[in-house]
Amino acid sequence: MSEFAGHLEEEEECDFVPKQYVVGTEIVSESGISHWLPEVDNAYKPVKGTIFDSIDVAYNFYQQYAQRGGFEIRKATQTPARREGFKPTKPCKVLENNERHQKGESHVDTNNMETNAQVKESDSSNQRVKKNRVRPSQRIGCEASFKLRIVEDNKYELYGFVEEHNHCMVHPDYRLHLKTYRKLDNSMKTLLYNFLLAGVGPTAGHRILTKILGGLDKVGTTSVDCRNFKRDIIAYIGKADAQIMVDMLTQRKKCLPNFSFEYFVDDKGVLGGFFWADEYAKRNYSAFGDVVSFDATFRTNKYNMVFIPFTGIDNHKKCVTFGAGMLAKEDAYSYKWLLNCFKTAFPDEPMIVMTDQDPAMKIAVEDVFKMARHRLCMWHIMEKLTTKVRS
């Protein structure tokens, strides 16, 4: 005990200087209200009367000043005939809640947010309650501003500059989390795009970049920014995703001679269906292709197309895949086209074909497979037995 106590006394004698996370020069008024001034070199501070060639030049200048000071800015008003203004936004999401309030509302009660966020939707059978997420305002009424007005030759003059803030600045250790500091350069975008092509999500891609570069401070962005990058890619692709998919599988068919891919479009040029089977699926069919089952109970949400996998059972009673297809319509013509593509990829007909009790499937199977026996799936029969047969 004495040695342990002596060790504690030695530690207490060591000089420990706590790290100060409050940044900025604090100024207390006569009424006791505190204001903070950013600690920025005078060479980067705005000066009234400065002339800027454009709004972008003025915004970039004030943004550099904000980055050195430890806060963020946003564009307030853009009235060409009157003035332009830039105001600081939240230095930290926790610090600022409201810049101004709406009429009749003083603040947002975060403890009882869900009471005002319930929107009732009536159905024919029952009522559902849909809850919308309500985010409290993060503005706290900071009066710091950077105001411009138009002068001769379509230039802008700084006529108003308020340097005082009603909050402290962000410490340099945490400024990497500010929006103005977070950005994806071209090399990171290329890596993330290649990750997406390889099936790696944006969150996992952000973790990989963190490991490669050696820390979050080296990445300079968050997982949310990576997910937003994926969202932007999807928005950029838009309605051309079907053509991209067809071009990708067509190129794979040219490079891989044993890869099968077929598709068709309707009269309006809309993709009506496609089928593909790779070399691994064809090896499975050559070994376990006596019984083939295909089911059309899977439907996509966005494109409203049915996904139809062709499956079988191996020697270990495990499911193996022979091919897959997607159809826009579940009619006899579409099923015939799909089964003809399957027959082209696999010339040897199966002995038994198992499907659901669908009249269109029955017509297609009898027309395409002349030697195979068509059987209904027992699982579907047992599922429908309780609804079809009365007790």
Tens-digit pLDDT profile for residues 165-209: 888 888 887 787 787 778 888 888 888 888 888 889 999 999 998
Give pLDDT, residue 337.
94
What is the distance between the alpha carbons of residues 121 and 364, in angstroms, rounded to a whole number? Answer: 42
What is the distance between the alpha carbons of residues 350 and 310, in angstroms, rounded to a whole number? Answer: 12
Global pTM reads 0.49
Give pLDDT, residue 358.
79
Give pLDDT, residue 122.
38
All structural domains of the chain with their residue ranges: 25-97+136-175, 186-239, 256-388
Give pLDDT, residue 117.
34
What is the distance between the alpha carbons of residues 326 and 305, in angstroms, rounded to a whole number? Answer: 6
342 class by beta-carbon count within 10 Å (0-12 exposed, 13-18 middle, 19+ buried): buried
Of residues 181, 182, 205, the one with CA closest to residue 193: 205
Give pLDDT, residue 243.
85
Residue pointed to by tokens 């504690």: 8
Cα 285 from chain centre:
38
251 class by beta-carbon count within 10 Å (0-12 exposed, 13-18 middle, 19+ buried): exposed
Q: Which CATH class is domain 256-388?
A: alpha beta
How would you classify residue 122: left for phi > 0, otherwise alpha for psi between -120 and 50, otherwise beta? beta
- 298-299 and 306-313 strand pairing: antiparallel
Cα 113 from chain centre:
25
Mean pLDDT in consecutive groups of 10 residues from the start of the chain, 391 residues = 48 52 81 87 89 89 88 71 52 32 38 35 48 74 86 87 87 79 84 88 90 84 88 75 86 91 88 92 91 80 83 91 91 92 91 86 89 82 75 56
Contacts of 319 (CB under 8 A, 6+ apart): 311, 312, 313
What is the distance between the alpha carbons of residues 59 and 52, in angstroms, rounded to a whole number? Answer: 10
